[in-house]
Amino acid sequence: MSSVHTLGVPVRSVNWVRIFPALDAEDRDCLVAVMGQQADSFMVVKVDPVTEETDQVTATVPSAHYPTAMLLSRSGVIYIGAAYAGHLFCYDPGAGRLDNLGAINLPDDTFPCRIDEDAQGMLWIGCYGSAGLTSYDPKTGVFVRYGRMDETDMYCYPMCAPDGTVACDIKMTRPHVVVLDPKTGVHKPVGPVVSKEDGGASALMRASDGSLYIQSSEGSFRLAGFEAVQVGSLPEPEPLPTMSDGAVVDFADRDEQMYRVVGITHPETGETRRLPIKYESAGSELFLVHRGPDDNIYGSSILPLHLFRYVPSSGEMTDLGICSTAAGEAYSMGNLDGKLYICSYPGAKLSVYDPSRPYRFGLEADSNPRDLGRVDEVSYRPRAMVTGPMGRVWIASVPDYGLWGGPLSWFDPGTEQFGTYRDIAGEASCWSLAWLSRQGLLAVGTTINGGSGTRPRVSQGVLFLWDYEREEKVWEGTLDRHISAINALVVGKDSLLYGTALGDGGPVLFAFDSVARAFLYAIPLDGRPLDLGLQNGPDGKIYGFTTASFYEFDPAHRAITSLYEEEGTFQVPGPVMRNNVYFAKKHEVKRLVI
């Protein structure tokens, strides 16, 4: 009888980390670190910089994992907006208490982007979802919801101007600023409106003079109510908050994504004191599980990106640490010539790791893992990887925020050159890959999605065949139904191509004859198929994951047999090794014995 076993929690790190200089109940310096985690809600850790003692409190609202917006107010209270709960919290360093102040703008907005404070102490909170703007009065506890600040874009980052207006930095497809007059409720765009697709950029900043400025590809501007006055140069940005003696505080190990050592830098000498801090984290969610070239299990955590290893022969689980300058998660992995290639979000940054050598991450030629850089300037979420064709590493990606058209890209380890086919999928995105080695082709499945912050411009996902030697698309087609994404592909032992697809009519498992260039059949699946969720078994059968089951597919009889069923069990697919099936759910690595 099949059974599921939990193997452990490989990564216990934190995300969306900020640390603030604050004052305790006796007006003494203290430090307040706000940190997210996925296995529990976000936490706040107060640190005594003299005794090094810590006090930890954790939010109790479900789904409040990510403290995506934070503000140290003039009163010394720290306000926190948490995703994906969409709630506002406050932490009083004097009392050491974390309070839930309520929902910001549910159900439209679940992801707070920025919090700012106006001259009267009113808080202004902008969110992702509907680009909504909401105010909160700490004196009365009342929220006022002002609605969408833009009818197209989804991200709103507010800043309060000295004249009482509120400026909203709108992202992602048409970066621009919208100004709201709270007295009248009138809001309208001010300054340049640019297109990211055409190379435009815009950012709102507060300068050391207290005024708000727009830094844009169209020039620099100072905001004056509903006017944008062009300026020749921008002042310095506003300084960071400091401790009572002017010392600046941050995590000294931020670049390593460890967040266990605080650095306190003296304002006059520039010397940094390193302060280890203690806290308990429940665990980091996992995003990818992969069989490495040494037959060990490798995988990635989410925010931050740590590479972990599980050794099936001994049961040893190790958090190896960072493997990329990307801080999100590894979206795809592949093996080539005894090395593990890792491509990560954000930026589709490629790394290479040799398991036979000591672990020492860096950018130098002898680093291991070594960060090789971005595969191109557009790819952002590198969902699939195939290794081997032309000795290269091939990557399918969704593009950057605010863009359409996810490329097919490659890296040649011999020459260390990158290449990309930018518009190969039109305004869709390359999403899944398989190597048809006998025909010298790559099979590429697409998703209708563009980058985050966009809405699809195409309605149908497709499968296409790419001749990598001739650098041309030799065939393109789709199933006889609506398809939003082809999210997994594998070449069977019978040389047919198998895939899973999502669409309005429900998910399917399909077979495709790459010689005849024809879809043969499509079989409905119970449950949503997981991305990258198909693989060959040792018996000539295809094995697959849905959110509710692990199944085998017998191509000879076109029969799907469920080997284990339980809704919500499977989240991240992993390899089949003999009678063991490895996968992940939330922050835990698991094994299904079949």
**Average pLDDT for residues 398-421, to the nearest whole number?**
98
Q: What is residue 345's predicted lDDT score, i.e. its pLDDT?
A: 98
**High-pLDDT (> 70) share of the chain, %:** 100
Global pTM? 0.95
**Residue pLDDT, tens place only, 33-81:** 999 999 999 999 999 999 999 999 999 999 999 999 999 999 999 999 9
Q: What is residue 2's predicted lDDT score, i.e. its pLDDT?
A: 87
**Residue pLDDT, tens place only, 359-369:** 999 999 999 99
CA distance 226 to 189: 8
Asked if pLDDT for residue 1 goes beyond 80, the answer is no
- Banded pLDDT at 540 (limits 50, 70, 90): confident
**Average pLDDT for residues 564-583, to the nearest whole number?**
95
- Banded pLDDT at 539 (limits 50, 70, 90): confident
Contact by Cβ (8 Å): 94, 109:
no
Instruction: For the chain, give the longest Cα–Cα distance.
Output: 79
Q: Give the count of beta carbons closer than 10 Å to the beta carbon of residue 88.
A: 24
The sign one gets for the Cα dihedral 419, 424, 426, 429 is: negative
CA distances 349 to 17, 332, 375, 467, Å, are 22, 11, 6, 25
Q: What is residue 538's predicted lDDT score, i.e. its pLDDT?
A: 81
Asked if pLDDT for residue 479 goes beyond 90, the answer is yes
CA distances 409 to 244, 385, 397, 422, 482, Å, are 51, 10, 8, 8, 27
The encoded tokens of residue 72 equal 């140290």
CA angle 123–82–55, rounded 5-degree value:
95
CA distance 124 to 104: 10
Query: Could you give all domains of the chain from N- to C-terminal order, each with its CATH number?
Result: 13-276 (2.130.10.10), 334-593 (2.120.10.80)
Contact by Cβ (8 Å): 417, 436:
no
